[in-house]
Structure 1
Amino acid sequence: MRFIASLAITAGLVAAPFAAQAASLHTDWEKYKATRAFNHLSADGQRAMVDILNAKQVLDAGQTEQAIPALYDATRRLTAAGKANAKFMAAETALHPAPQHPVASTHVPGTTPVTWIPVGGEIVGSETLAPEKKAAIATANSQLQAGNTQQAAQSLQVVGEDADFILALAPLEQTQGAINRASVFTEARNPREASAALQQALDGLVFVSEDFAETAIPAQGGRNAAPGK
């Protein structure tokens, strides 16, 4: 009996490192999947969306002068995003919006191919997730909205397979047009109309699944680290 007990203890001691290694590999794989998904994002496109959100917040507060630099940066960065590799041409009808974030029922998708820029994303999880995983997803989404993809991938390590990543695509020319209108209204000291133009840009986003991103959108590797100024 002592031999059997000793054998069981030995087996447990041997199995423990393998179990720890398997858990480590699983964590590394989940981190890799998140990083791979985020690598489809356009760094300049992400920055442009942050600029748009910042400008809209300022305009909603009734300020115009402070919104002008953000609108200028958004225009410049979208132009750069349109020249980079993280873009593709497609008709909106071919995008197949993610079920977690459908377009408005009144929206009529365009049938003419246009340029799309991957400008952001959202992590979604089920309502049955543990509170700590829901908190991690909320943190990661805030980090994504701020353009901090590396931090978002780190936050998602505790979530594992219990979350899906959906990608936000912006129609380049339509978004540029909305920013141009917002700039005109801003310079005319009309913050309400300027904010409405930026809302049109945000409403034009289409969210697609990670599977769609894998097949249609070029990955940018390490170049899409947390963007700076």
Structure 2
Amino acid sequence: MKFIPAMAAISTLLCATPLAGAASLHSHWEQFKAHRAFHHLSADGQRAFQDIMNARDILQTGGKTEAAIPALYDAQKRLAAAEKADKKFQAAENDLHPAPQHPVAANHQPVVGQTDWLPVGGEFIVNETLAPEKKTAVASANAQLKSGNTDQAAETMKVVGEDTDFILALAPITPVQGAVYRATVFTEGHHPQEAVDALNQALDSVIFVSENAVESQAPATAAPAPAAATK
């Protein structure tokens, strides 16, 4: 299965509290994982990236700027809604190591410093040692995730258990919003190629993070200090 640069390798966290380093990142990830990662995918974020891809396809097919404008307006509205929701989380990109199954795009421009991320896509990675019926279940769950049926995906994955890795597609909100705004301005000005370039920047900004990779960043928990002796 492919994401769309977020759902193509895009066709998904937590809370808005800033993450300070690997220990905090691990702590927040554990809170997220406890509720099951794919239940926390941003529905507005997923739809926004579908709008972005639709607009790009329209602009690439004959440069139909007027036809692309509604999708761009929808993407802006959905990104604004996603930004206000509780699906985002904050982290520095260099604390989020890309999953080896999905390296970043060749034209990816790293985000400097702390920024808000949206989980806009998700994928279970098939372990080759899984039994055939479990591989089939994973494929079905991925298809359900892609179509937004997270409850069905959760039910399907009960057959598999915990023997899979889960990959999230994360989009940096501010750079994506900026790229979509520029694409909208170019489209309204009837400059389809410049608009396509801006939308590609939005899609290329997505990174794919493994659940297991995030877990491995946590330092060993130190033993508690002995209590001070009372006098």
TM-score over 0.5 for the pair: yes
Amino acid at match of 2:115: V
Deviation for aligned residue 1:118: 1.4
Task: Kindly state the Cα deviation for residue 119 of structure 1 after the two structures are TM-superposed.
Answer: 1.4
Q: Give the number of the structure whose residues are more often helix, by fraction.
A: 1
Q: Which residue of 1 aligns with 2:124?
A: 123
- Higher CA-based Rg: 1
Go from structure 1 to structure 2 and tell me whether the alpha carbon gap of 1:159 and 1:186 turns closer, same or farther (over 3 Å shift): farther
Q: How many residues align?
A: 182
Measured against aligned partners, the alpha-carbon deviations of 1:72-113 in whole angstroms (never above 9, x if no partner) come to: 111111111111221122111111222222225775644411
Kept in 1, the 8 Å contact 2:44–2:82? The answer is yes
Report what 1:46 is aligned to. 46
TM-score (norm 2): 0.66
CA–CA separation in structure 1 for the residues paired with 2:83 and 2:46: 12
- Give the corresponding residue for 1:82: 83
1:180 CA drift (Å):
0.9
Question: For 2:128 and 2:154, how far apart are their aligned partners in 1?
Answer: 21
SS at match of 2:86: coil
Q: What secondary structure, in the 3-state scheme, does the structure 1 residue paired with 2:40 have?
A: coil
User: Residue 61 in 1 paired to residue 61 in 2?
Assistant: yes
Separation (CA, whole Å) in 2 of partners of 1:129 and 1:196:
41
> Cα distance, 1:158 vs. partner?
4.7
Instruction: Structure 1: state its 5+ residue gaps.
Output: 1-32, 216-229
Name the structure 1 match of 2:151: 150
Letter in 2 for 1:189: H
Provide the rounded CA distance (Å) in 2 between the counterparts of 1:135 and 1:141.
Answer: 10
State the secondary structure of the residue aligned to 1:169: strand
SS at match of 2:117: strand
Q: What CA distance in whole angstroms lies between the structure 2 residues aligned with 1:46 and 1:121? A: 10
The residue that corresponds to 2:170 in the other structure is: 169
For normalisation by structure 1, the TM-score amounts to 0.66
Among all aligned residue pairs of Structure 1 and Structure 2, give the percentage whose two residues are the same amino acid: 63
Structure 1 SS opposite 2:36: helix
Q: How large is the RMSD of aligned CA atoms in angstroms? A: 3.0
Task: Confirm or deny: 8 A CA contact 2:110 2:205 kept in the other structure.
Answer: no
Note if contact 1:116-1:172 (Cα within 8 Å) is conserved in structure 2.
yes
**Alpha-carbon distance between aligned partners in 2 of 1:143 and 1:84, rounded to the nearest angstrom:** 23
